Amino acid sequence: MLSADLQSRGVLDVWYVGLDVARESPIAPACLQSLETILSPDEQARAARFHFERDRRRFVVCRARLREILASYLDAPATAIRFVYGEHGKPALTGPWECNEISFNLSHSEDLAVIAVARGVEVGIDVECVRPIPEARRIAERCFSIGERAALEKLPAAERPAAFYGVWTRKEACLKAIGTGLSYPLDQIDVGLANGYRASALSPFPGRRQALEWSVWSVSPAPGYVAAVASTDELPAPDRWQWLAS
């Protein structure tokens, strides 16, 4: 049984979840079957629609662990957690916890998921597995701000792939924090390359009169991965980074 608590507003926890439940492992079938019973009927139906077994396993582990983690904060059964989804797919708690101050966000890439849980602030999180991207320069020209492109070009060539993913995850985390997905131009968000950078929107954001800014933090949750977490509120570095194996 997990044990977690957020006593104060503006406190943030980030969880790393391994998704590698290998089919070859002798304990995997029983483990996976147990995790699948935690899911809601619609989540089980979504799992069944995956074409590849590997993707189905990852989905089951990710959703079940999300439920277990949230249940530990809410002091509720994992099976009882209910979700509602925003216009661009951002999940939130509903039912008995609709007015609860607990907010969360999740992201996954390959065999790793990251889950941010906070009290009293909206959060967004993103993770990417670092791999070569031949078109990285072209993507940066289209999606990065002028300042970000200049900072990226100053780095040694060997450092650019991780830095590229650092900028990308920071941008995604910012947009996920406000639940807009990629509907706002990525080149109009300046997230910088320095950790703890106060990111900002460079042009008016639809439906908001004031300039939009985020607190954003980057981490390397595992070898070969880059992640970022963001909030529109003033937010210190995450208080706890916790690893939960699959």
CB 29 within 8 A of CB 22: no
Weakest-pLDDT range from 4-13, 78-87, 107-116: 4-13
Q: How far is Cα 144 from Cα 135, in angstroms, rounded to an integer?
A: 13
Average pLDDT, rounded, for the chain: 84
* Neighbouring residues of 126: CB distance < 8 A, sequence distance ≥ 6: 107, 114, 168, 169, 170, 172, 173, 176, 227, 228
CB 108 within 8 A of CB 221: no
Q: Please report, to the nearest 10 degrees, the dihedral formed by the alpha carbons of residues 40, 110, 228, 91 taken in order.
A: -20
Q: How far is Cα 37 from Cα 246, in angstroms, rounded to an integer?
A: 15
**pLDDT confidence bin for 1, thresholds 50/70/90:** very low
Mean local confidence (pLDDT), 185-197: 81
**pLDDT confidence bin for 58, thresholds 50/70/90:** very high
* pLDDT of 54 strictly over 80: yes
Structure tokens at 55: 């993707």
Nearest to 71 by CA among 108, 30, 115, 32: 115
* pLDDT of 59 strictly over 90: yes
* pLDDT of 3 strictly over 60: no
CB 9 within 8 A of CB 233: no
For residue 38, the model assigns a pLDDT of: 95
Q: How far is Cα 52 from Cα 70, in angstroms, rounded to an integer?
A: 28
90-118 residue pLDDT tens: 899 988 887 778 899 999 999 999 999 98
CB 215 within 8 A of CB 235: yes
Mean local confidence (pLDDT), 132-159: 91
Domains along the chain with CATH numbers = 12-121 (3.90.470.20), 127-235 (3.90.470.20)
More confident residue, 168 or 24: 168
Total residue count of the chain as it appears in this document: 246
More confident residue, 209 or 199: 199
Mean local confidence (pLDDT), 128-142: 91
For residue 30, the model assigns a pLDDT of: 81
Nearest to 111 by CA among 55, 190, 166: 55
214-246 residue pLDDT tens: 888 888 888 899 999 998 877 666 655 666 655
48-57 own/partner pairs: CB under 8 Å, 24+ apart = 53/23, 54/23, 57/19, 57/21, 57/23, 57/28, 57/32
Q: How far is Cα 41 from Cα 146, in angstroms, rounded to an integer?
A: 46
For residue 214, the model assigns a pLDDT of: 86
| CA 155 vs CA 30, 152, 160, 163: distances in Å | 47, 6, 6, 9
